A and B are shown apart, each in its own frame.
Chain A
């Protein structure tokens, strides 16, 4: 998977036609063979753009920053990224007419060690679902049968005290830097409820209970919206297995809300944002 040339050509063309102000893509990080996001503001920098199977970061995250707000933006999206873009559009965070989306028919990306990322091995939507231009051959696989994440399955087998001890360790190692939240494309709130200084509802202190509070609240706000791009997990300086929280939510929602998968269908709202007669109501009475 190497679309470096095509993406450079597209970006150069867009700048030449005056269609965009900024192009969000990937560049080499300058010290090893991994890549970092780059925001390009003119045609002279287009040659820095690359795209290979090391293009991991979800660029939709940059649609919520100062550098792209109220500007015409070109960006590259893979399958999972396009799902989060879909949700951003549905939730009125960005205007479609301001975007030029280069979709990728993704064959899976690899981590620093060169192994295929876990979310790519179980990917159900590899082709970009939103795009102005699609690169690569669409796999046309349609929706795959849903498989519960193997890590979740292993954890579910364990007795409750053991599971609790495991998660206690996770929260203990959280340094509460909020890199997970800031790297998440769908965490776009201008002021996060966890950061409220005056409210005593959330614990502002950097303690284990504070980390528990913050991570649980965060994962529940993303329930039915998380697209499993794993930006949070890659951003975590302590390498915490944050996908466990999201995948658990995802499997519960898939089971109970008519096989709902976030952001696959354009205009489809999150599982908790719409009412359906088939929604489970046995917990009411």
Chain B
């Protein structure tokens, strides 16, 4: 049995948001210093789930936090004692409001690596307990290119519930996964979601959502053929073009930290006298120390090699191993970059320049 698509208006949608916040722990975009980021909220006035401004970071930190405790230890002359950390604050039953579809999609990409060699149980638990409610964008941002990548943006099932601002001015709320269906049914029994069109057929609703999608796809500035990029990049490891595109990179970690799909981490200890905590924090391949080895050798000492690794990992290596691009086309890296280097420009420029040789 599938749950019907709810049709509502602005007021009904706000009621829906409030019902969500009342029923579960909720995360939504909150403004701080003129930028939005996902934070824990309890009232609708605190946040803006429909904020047109892209959040600085995606919803990645809610599943793979900036810094997570791995273990605690007590190291004395008598020996070392290791203990489990406190309960994971991100593993409770919760809802994420206002995620964009690129944010939601990134988790599908990350699932592959987290379920591969070693199964990350913390990540699994956070994933299982989270319902993602995504609002579909009406307009593409300057740096967006999600429709150019290897996923179906329109029928994406990465989010559990999708909200679409229909072309007819009505708002459609549709479950995309069994988890989302259960959640909507539960919420509807408890709070009653306002449904203003009980007579409308599912086909008509789908038609309205499709119309919105068509106007959305028409608004993209950036378009590319990812298959061509994948094929070209895999052949041009030694091209000098990487040196040109990375010229003005300042080698900070920003692009990787805000990227919804980057998942490299480092381990560091915080120790006071005998007791310590071990942390797992973000790391970035654009950083000069990333590949520095204990003996002092660094296989990627210069910028262009690091940029090559970044582009190749996203569009070649991950594709070969897991069958997907490690990029969802959200453009967050370009917005955050101090000098606006765009991964879109880099891969296109490098692959087209290499073809001319």
Q: Give chain A nearest CB distance to B120 CB in angstroms.
A: 18
Name the CB-closest residue of A to B258: A237
Instruction: Mark each residue of chain B from 22 to 51: 1 if its CB lies under 8 Å from any CB of chain A, else 0.
Output: 000000000011110100000000000000
A192: nearest residue on chain B (CB-CB)? B289
Contacts A36-B339, A179-B254, A181-B252; is A169 near B32 (CB within 8 Å)?
A: yes
A32 engages B142 (CB within 8 Å): yes
Q: B270: which A residues are within 8 A, CB to CB?
A: 200, 203-205, 207
Q: Is the CB of A67 within 8 A of B339?
A: no
Q: B residues bordering A, Cβ < 8 Å?
A: 32-35, 37, 56-57, 66-67, 142-143, 221, 247-248, 250-254, 256-258, 266, 268-271, 277, 279, 281-282, 284, 287, 289, 302-303, 335-336, 338-341, 345
Chain A residues with CB below 8 A from B282, complex form: 175-176, 206
Residue of B nearest to A22 (CB): B247
Q: Are the C-beta atoms of A239 and B35 separated by less than 8 Å?
A: yes
B256 partner residues in chain A, CB cutoff 8 A:
177
Given contacts A31-B221, A203-B270, A205-B268, whether A178 and B279 have CB atoms under 8 Å apart is: no
The answer to whether B67 touches A238 (Cβ under 8 A) is no
Residues of A participating in the B interface, judged by any CB pair closer than 8 Å? 29-32, 34, 36-39, 57, 61-62, 65-67, 169-170, 173, 175-179, 181-183, 191, 195, 197, 200, 203-207, 210, 231, 234-235, 237-241
- 6 A–B pairs (Cβ distance < 8 Å), ordered by A: A31-B142, A32-B142, A175-B258, A177-B336, A178-B252, A182-B338
CB pair B67–A206 under 8 Å, yes or no, is: yes
A205 x B279 contact (CB < 8 A): yes
- Determine which of B33, B268, B269 lies in contact with A238 in the assembled complex, contact meaning CB atoms within 8 Å: B33
Given contacts A30-B345, A31-B142, contact A239 B33 (CB under 8 A): yes
Inter-chain CA distance A227–B346, complex, in Å, is 33
- State which of B67, B289, B335 has its C-beta within 8 Å of the C-beta of A207: B67
Known contacts A31-B142, A65-B303, A206-B67; decide if A197 and B268 are in contact (CB<8 Å).
Answer: yes
Question: Which of A38, A178, A195, A203 meets B248, CB within 8 Å?
Answer: A38
Report yes or no: B33 in contact with A178, Cβ–Cβ below 8 A: no
Residue from A203, A205, A240 having most chain B Cβ neighbours under 10 A:
A205
Chain B neighbourhood of A182, CB < 8 A: 250-252, 338
A32 CA / B289 CA spacing, docked (Å): 33
Chain B residues with CB below 8 A from A30, complex form: 345
Residue of B nearest to A181 (CB): B252
Cα(A205)–Cα(B56), bound, Å: 20
* Chain A residues in 8 Å Cβ range of B335: 237
Alpha-carbon gap, A207 to B282, bound state (A): 11
Known A65-B303, A241-B33; contact A204-B248, beta-carbon cutoff 8 A: no
A183 CB contact (under 8 Å) in B35, B250, B257, B268: B250
Residues of B near A197 (CB, < 8 A) are 266, 268, 289
Given known A37-B248, A206-B281, A238-B32, contact A175–B340 (CB-CB < 8 A)? no
Those 10 A-B pairs whose CB atoms lie nearest each other, nearest first: A204-B268, A235-B338, A205-B279, A237-B336, A206-B281, A182-B252, A206-B67, A179-B252, A39-B247, A177-B254
CB < 8 Å neighbour of B257 from A29, A175, A239: A175
Q: Name which residue of chain A comes closest to B332, CB basis.
A: A237
Complex Cα spacing A182 to B254, Å: 10
- Chain A positions within 8 Å of B250 at CB level: 61, 65, 179, 182-183, 235
Contacts of B56 in A (CB 8 A): 175, 237-238
Complex: chain A residue closest to B303, CB-CB:
A66
B34 contact set on A, CB distance < 8 A: 239
Give the nearest-CB partner of A239 in chain B.
B33
| Given A66-B302, A179-B250, residue A200 in contact with residue B269 (CB < 8 A) | yes
